[in-house]
Structure 1
Amino acid sequence: MTARKDDNRQRSVWSRIASTLGLAPRQDGTATTARSSAPQSSGTPSRKRKAAIAVSIALGLTAAAGFGGTYYVKANTVSYYHLYKDGTELGTVDSPEAVEELLALKKEEAARENPGVDMELETGSLTYEPASGFKAVPDTEATLDKLEKQIAFYAVGVEIKVEGEVIGVVKDKATAERVLQRVQGEYAPELVMPEVMNVRPMSYNANGKADASSPESASQKSVSPKSNREVKQVKFVEDVDTQSAKVQPTEIVDEETMYKTIVSGSEAETTYTVQPGDCVGCIAEKFDIDKQVIYDNNPWIKNDMIKVGDVLDLTVREPKINVETVERLTKTVETKPDYVVRENDEMRVGESKVISEGIKGISELTYKQVKRNGVLVSSELVSTVVIKPSSPKIVMKGTKVVRGEGTGNFEYPVSGATLTSKFGKRWGRLHKGIDLVGDSTIKAADEGVVEFAGVKSGYGNVVIINHRNGYKTLYAHLSSYSVAEGEIVEKGDPIGIMGNTGRSFGTHLHFEIHKNGVVQNPLDYL
């Protein structure tokens, strides 16, 4: 089409040249003079000049026509781009800016639909190949529509990992740090200080605190008038990490939800209804849990009072992350006076006398305590400082041994004894002792000196032991006795054989205890 237009222009140019020079146009586009039938001399100068002028004009007009055609083509040439996604052509667009504008609009749309979440577009690899054509029309709208259908969205969140396992996703690293600081802050608020932290709180040491003169936290204040507790270190027991990740927007949770997930864990709730005979300690032992779990889960329990039918929460909540603290506990305590015994050989064994009551002292004890989630795991005494020394309690005790003196504590004089008759009124008169049967060997009920060994009216063969402490014991109806008057006997020594002598109605032992001459009921002493 362009070639035909250029031929027409050349014919038009030749026509104008022929008209100017008085030439007649021919069908092939050349020209002849009007007087061509008349013979002319080929060497006429005027004719040569005219021919030269005609050629020059023709060449000039031809060049002008060619230049005008090229300019026209260039003026109507359109530049555009082929758009490729991951190497596959989607179509043509007038400019990369049109694609960038679409992507910006889609990102704004994703942000509006998911407020507070960092949204990104999944577009794949977009590349452009420049091209051009005469009066070309790129199919920008159709290409952008095709691209839009292939665009995917994802959220950029921060995963919290425990021992490599993802336990939750929050919107950004700052949120993850606040959650982890809050978990540690439950047990060490004075160490976990968000206003001076700019790293993830995996472990803190008291020596690294930014403001050592900051006000004392609640956990540093004295928990009682005589104790003071300070957290020196806090760390996670598990390996805890945070990492940026591409996720679905629905996977991202808020800060409070993430915190509860960590501290509450995922244990199923356990309840128990109190039964007759139950107690807090019994229930703890039955379920193999610490009593403190019951107290913490059921704060309504006062003074261990529970009743049948009460429903107890026995859930042992194992958090996703365990917090270990190292604490220094300083206690000011009263120390009891030492107990000092001084022997006195002038005093009998069993006698004592307080020489000095003693005075209590005051000491400061420092413990290193390791806790897990606030529960004591270990405690070590690391130092003791005496603030006020104690004064010992001094007691004088006798060492003088007097043979034949009893203790005042009596044992049964018969092994395997069976009581056959009690102390008190019997047959119209006082039965002064008790009657026993059992092993036939009769033994001394306590240490003493044999005061009598012989026969007494009604008693038959009888032994009387003086214990030299106001007590005497009597052993009657013996078939025989093996001790003599004045002999010292120890508690449990054999003194005779059970018998049926004197006023007796069968083999047995009649046993009496006298105190300062007054008969006693032996059952009150045995």
Structure 2
Amino acid sequence: MNFFKGAHKLRTKLQQWTTQTNTNIKKINWKENIQSKFRWMAVGNGPSLIKKHRMLMIKSVGSLGLIAAITVGGNHYVNANMVEVYHVYVDGKEAGSVSSPQLVDDFKVSKVKELKEKNPNVHMVVNIDAVTLKPERAFKIASEDTATLHNLDTMLTVRTLGIELVVDGKLIGTVRDKAEADAILDRIKAKYLPSKAKAAGKVGILSAQNKDASSDIVDVQVEKADFVQKVDINEVDIDANALMDPDKIVAKLETGDVQPKKYKVMDGDCVSCIAAKFDISPQLIYTNNPVLVEDDRLQIGQVLDLTLLEPTLSVRTVERVIENQEIQFETNYKLDDSMRAGIVKKTKSGVNGMKKVTIELTKLNGFMEDEKMLSEEVTVKPQAAEAIRGTKVILGEGTGKFAWPVVGSSLSSGFGTRWGVFHKGVDLTSGNRSILAADNGKVIYAGYKSDYGNHIIIDHLNGYKTLYGHLSKIGVTVGTTVEKGEKIGVMGSTGDSTGTHLHFEVRSDDSPQNPLKYLNR
């Protein structure tokens, strides 16, 4: 820098010298009198004049050459020593200068890596985005790489970030990052989703699996899986010691703060009665007390676990189940008055048909809230059997063709494993409360039991029996012969019932069958 200033001074003096020389040249009228001077030289005056001004001429020409040489050389020297540096700033404050932007880039990478290595269990961030560079080109300017990087390190701000998991405005816990928070929420949902997913949104096993051999689950689609409560995930500055174990957060979300609850069975109790008394689902009683699944009977003095977990975070799922269900074939009879009534000779075997049934299940934390039949479609028509039957009719013998026992009914619960136990029939609801005999037959039971409440059993005298449960009123007595479509009672909610409906069973040789196999709209 000092040399550059010296060169500048020298060039200034040379310019002054040149100006003075030009003034001297003008004084001798060099340009105007050049020709006359040569004439004088020719006639003898030239030599004396040249001699007189020779030194002045030499000095003037030499000065010009020196000026040119110094100017060219000085410019070359200055250009050769021009240096580019980069001033480094953090949020507008200068940290120093470096010789290359790469030094700052490398420093950023190493700083982030260092934070991760020293703090593997927390999420550390540094404000490297606040670093900016400004280039400058100057004569022999010097950068300060080491000092600048040191200053940069001290000027950067390091923060520890975490994710607060908030449910309905209440802080549940703090975790490392969003990925960990999402993993916790996924674990909560996964607990209530059907297992063994075949594809996105599809599963191979229904949580309420049907044990009926006459039906086959084709597909189950999880249409919705939503949290009931409002869930917020907020990024905040934290103290590393505030982080919680994800397993403890999951346990807190699943169980809440619930104390165990026990109940001793008393005389006259039934599962639905106890459920209604404590405002809980019958499924909860079956789930908490597996012995009832094996033997669906209560014993006086029996202690039941009625603990209802109240999760901080609840999951409501909607599943669409598609099942293939058999359609029982009908039998066409040819009457023969030579044969005794009740004697049947099969002449042609029948073949069951098939229908595709779509059911929608709504569950809260795995417990059934609602079940609806959405549609049914016949895919294979049944082929009727043919038989010869005697014409001496036995009073009450069924036709083998069942009618819906409720007019305008809707399915509220299907056949198979429901509410934690095997459901031996279907539940039907309707605005019309009249219960009708599904076929001709003879009443063999009409009374009350804790599980079915008021119920009727009809023997159709052809290997089939039907049961009508939870009635509010029984309209027939044992031994009564009834005809198909005859009113036998009124729908109710007696016994082990969760609301006004008809529980309807079809039994073949005392083995429960899926009623939908025989009932077709």
Which of the five TM-score ranges fits, normalised by the shorter chain? 0.3 to 0.5
Q: TM-score, normalised by structure 2?
A: 0.46
Normalized per residue, the structure richer in helix is: 2
| Structure showing greater relative contact order (alpha-carbon pairs closer than 8 Å, 6 or more residues apart) | 2
Q: TM-score, normalised by structure 1?
A: 0.46
